[in-house]
Amino acid sequence: MRGAVIHAPGDVRFEQLDDPKIQQPTDAIIRTVLTCVCGSDLWPYRGLEPIGGPHPMGHEYVGIVEDVGSEVTAVKPGQFVVGSFATSDNTCANCRHGWQSSCLHREFMSTCQADYVRIPHAQGTLVATAEHPDEEFLPSLLAVSDVMGTGWYAALAAEVKPGATAVVVGDGAVGLCGVIAARELGAERIIAMSRHESRQKLATEFGATDIVTERGDDGVARIKDLTDGIGADSVLECVGTAESMQQALHATRPGGNVGFVGVPHDVQIAGEELFFSHAGLRGGPAPVRRFLPDLIDRVLAGRIDPGKVFDLTLSLEQVAEGYRAMDERRAIKTLLTP
């Protein structure tokens, strides 16, 4: 089969690779129907995360089951499946609490920009749809496997409640999906922080009621202007830098909550400042598996359309161009078709 391999910053190649095989009785092999490039893939691509040797890339996928190990009974060959970027047995103590992305047997997927993918812990990781979904739903189902699931978690971690004011920091695919989540959870006012016209437009389409273009202290001042001077009930931090985390904390009212889903890079939180902010803070890799059945239903019912975050579609063999387009911010998110 063929798949993407990163060799060095800026150097992603489309190469011939060995076909994946069942290695454990808990594995499944899927044929990739759609995959894509994630904002987090840009960290190593930009040289901001060590790469080590050449290795495959990609952790988002929907596909058709090709083969399953002897212990996999929940899905079977021929079924269309959606999974999470983090595998989970869905039976351990953390999974039982709904924190499948802290599964005691968790593995992070990393070989999905390819024709075929081996899914560890397939029984607890994959969710099959009742039938093969219509073509129009496929990008949104793919989005559910990561960015929509992550935006959903950001909104839950920020404790968005009906009638609340929510702020979304970050206008990448996850932030935009966070807008959808805040709307679905009943936020009355949704303030998207964005300075890119095309992203502002999509945020508004997804349910944002206000756009704030300022950043840093000016951005926080604008949020306060819009929230009785005290800050928002819920803030979704969807970037992962020290600056965005500060902006999120300062935009939150005392007693409000920050959900942070951008993997923090060089972020230190001052204990005393957090203390006096009275803000609640929860982050982490989203337990997407918990949300999959619900989010798949919302997609298939036509309630949410997170697939709109894909504004560039390429064939899988053009994966290198897919990275470049996102790196240069010519695309929000690149969809790849094997």
Q: Is 269 in the site for a copy of itself (CB under 8 A)?
A: yes
> Taking CB under 8 A as the rule, does residue 48 contact a copy of itself?
no
Residue among 77 and 254 whose Cβ is closer to a copy of itself = 254
Query: Binders of a copy of itself among 243-262, rule CB under 8 A?
Result: 245, 253-255, 260
Pick one of 278, 303, 329, 330: the residue that binds a copy of itself (CB under 8 A).
Answer: 278
Please tell me the count of residues contacting a copy of itself according to CB under 8 A: 42
- Name the residue nearer to a copy of itself (CB basis): 162 or 271: 271
What are residue 192's DSSP bridge partners? 168, 211
Site for a copy of itself in 151-170 (CB under 8 A): 157
Closest CA to 277 of 310, 248, 300: 248
**Which span sits near a copy of itself by CB under 8 A: 125-133, 192-200, 269-277, 302-310?**
269-277
**8 A C-beta contact, residue 158 and residue 257:** yes
Q: Nearest CA to 222 among 233, 211, 207? A: 211
Compute the least distance from the CB of residue 94 to a copy of itself, in Å. Answer: 5
Residue 256 CB, nearest approach to a copy of itself (Å)? 8
Residue 102 found at the interface with a copy of itself (CB under 8 A): yes
Nearest approach, Cβ of residue 233 and a copy of itself (Å): 8
Q: What is the contact mask toward a copy of itself in residues 279 to 298, using x (rule: CB under 8 A)?
A: xxxxxxx-x-----------
Q: Is residue 40 a contact residue for a copy of itself (CB under 8 A)?
A: no
Segment interacting with a copy of itself (CB under 8 A) among 172-180, 204-212, 273-281, 297-305: 273-281
Q: Is residue 175 near a copy of itself by the rule CB under 8 A?
A: no
CB of 24 to a copy of itself, least distance (A): 22
Helix segments in 9-137, DSSP class H: 42-45, 93-96, 122-125
Q: How far is CA 19 from CA 22, 30, 83, in A?
A: 10, 11, 20
Q: Which 3 state secondary structure label does DSSP give 137?
A: helix
C-alpha angle with apex 326: 322 to 328, nearest 5 degrees? 120
Sign of the C-alpha dihedral computed for residues 170, 171, 174 and 178 taken in this order: positive
Q: Mapping DSSP to helix (H, G, I), strand (E, B) and coil, where does residue 43 land? A: helix
Would you count residue 99 as binding a copy of itself (CB under 8 A)? yes
Smallest distance, a copy of itself to C-beta of residue 206, A:
25
Question: Which residue is it, tokens 């889903």?
Answer: 261
264 with 245: CB under 8 angstroms? yes
Residue 113's closest CA among 285, 327, 321, 328? Answer: 321
- Chain-centre distance for alpha carbon 178: 9
Nearer to a copy of itself (CB atom), residue 31 or residue 282: 282
Identify the CA nearest to 151 among candidates 102, 190, 97: 190
Residue ranges binding a copy of itself (CB under 8 A) = 93-94, 97-99, 101-102, 104, 157, 228-230, 240, 242, 245, 253-255, 260, 263-272, 274-285, 287
